[in-house]
Structures are given as structure tokens and as C-alpha cells.
């Protein structure tokens, strides 16, 4: 799974996904090869979900999206990972999933939304690294 490594530890890593139409898109990827969250021990599940929820909290506090999508969708890749995605009403596929067909809307508004996300990303990554370091994750990049 491509993307920029944001933070991690010996159990998981957080990446900024390479999704050009949705720049505020993160994945939390479990290091050991397991398919489902319930395959993890309770302490590991708690650690994973603390990271997922901290990303959600950080996105809400720092960039105020209209919605956050949080999902574990590893159908094509049977390796446990969670998606945490900032969504806006004027993004390319809202209200559908980020993998839906593009919605019918003004291309200029969509381009402006994507560019806004790209411009916000550097400061957002810096702030999220701080949030995640409070959970014991190391900073990267």
C-alpha cells in the first residue's frame, strides 16, 4: 500500500495514502499479518483503535471536515488496515465512498477542494505526528 510513512511503532504504522482525489486520507496498517481486528489480542486491539480514534479526533479538531470516514476495508488485501478519511460535501465523490464514481458537480469546486486539502496536508501531518507521539508512536519524515 503506497503512501508516505507518518508514524509507527513495532505493531503498526500510519501512512498518508497516495489518493490524488482525496488528499486527507490515512491508513493505519497492522504490522503482523492478520485479516481481522478480532484476530488481535485485547491490548493490541485497544492500541490499534486508540491510534485510529486519535487520527479521527485530530482531523476533526485541525481541519473540521464535514464527515470522517473510518473503515476497515481490506477485501482486496487480506491484511488488517483501517482507513481514516476527511470528507467534504464538495469532494469528488461525496456522499458516496471515496471509491465511488465521481458525483456530478462543478469541476472548479472539486479542483478547489482537492487543492485545499493538498495545501492543508503539511501542517496537518506535523500536528498529527505530535498527537500520535503522545500514544508512543515515533515520528517519521
| CATH number, position 65 | 3.30.428.10
Give the model's pLDDT for residue 105: 81
Question: Which pTM was predicted?
Answer: 0.90
Whether residue 7 is contained in a domain is answered as yes
Query: Are the C-beta atoms of 26 and 85 separated by less than 8 Å?
Result: yes
Q: Give the separation between CA 12 and CA 74, rounded to whole angstroms.
A: 16
Containing domain of residue 130, as a range? 3-88+121-139
Q: Angle at which helices 107-133 and 42-63 pack, to 10 degrees? A: 130
Per-residue 3-state assignment (H helix, E strand, C coil) for 14-48:
EEEECCCCCCCEEEEEECCCCCCHHHCCHHHHHHH
- Helical (H) or strand (E) element with 70: strand 67-71
List of residues 6+ apart from 42 with CB closer than 8 A: none
Please count the structural domains in the chain: 1
pLDDT digits (tens, 9 = 90+) for 18-32: 888 899 999 999 999
Whether residue 110 is contained in a domain is answered as no
Give the model's pLDDT for residue 1: 54
Q: Residues of the chain with pLDDT > 70: what percent?
A: 94
**Grid coordinates given for 56:** 479521527
Whether residue 105 is contained in a domain is answered as no
* 141 pLDDT more than 60: no
Task: Give the chain's mean pLDDT.
Answer: 90
Whether residue 135 is contained in a domain is answered as yes
Q: Who wins on pLDDT, 51 or 76? A: 51
* 11 pLDDT more than 90: yes
The mean pLDDT value for 103-122 works out to 88
pLDDT band, very low/low/confident/very high, at 140 (cuts 50, 70, 90): low
Cis status of the peptide bond prior to 129, with omega within 30 of 0? no
Whether residue 115 is contained in a domain is answered as no
Amino acid at each position: 500500500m503506497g503512501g508516505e510513512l507518518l508514524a509507527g511503532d513495532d505493531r503498526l504504522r500510519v501512512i498518508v495514502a497516495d489518493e490524488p482525489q482525496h488528499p486527507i486520507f490515512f491508513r493505519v496498517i497492522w504490522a503482523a499479518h492478520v485479516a481481522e481486528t478480532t484476530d488481535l489480542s485485547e491490548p493490541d486491539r485497544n492500541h490499534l483503535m486508540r491510534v485510529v480514534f486519535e487520527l479521527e479526533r485530530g482531523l476533526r479538531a485541525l481541519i473540521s471536515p464535514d464527515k470522517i470516514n473510518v473503515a476497515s476495508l481490506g477485501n482486496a488485501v487480506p491484511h488488517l488496515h483501517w482507513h481514516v478519511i476527511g470528507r467534504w460535501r464538495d469532494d469528488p465523490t461525496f456522499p458516496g465512498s471515496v471509491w465511488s464514481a465521481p458525483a456530478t458537480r462543478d469541476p472548479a469546486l472539486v479542483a478547489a477542494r482537492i487543492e485545499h486539502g493538498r495545501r492543508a496536508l503539511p501542517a496537518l501531518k506535523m500536528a498529527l505526528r505530535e498527537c500520535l507521539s503522545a500514544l508512543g508512536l515515533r515520528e517519521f519524515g
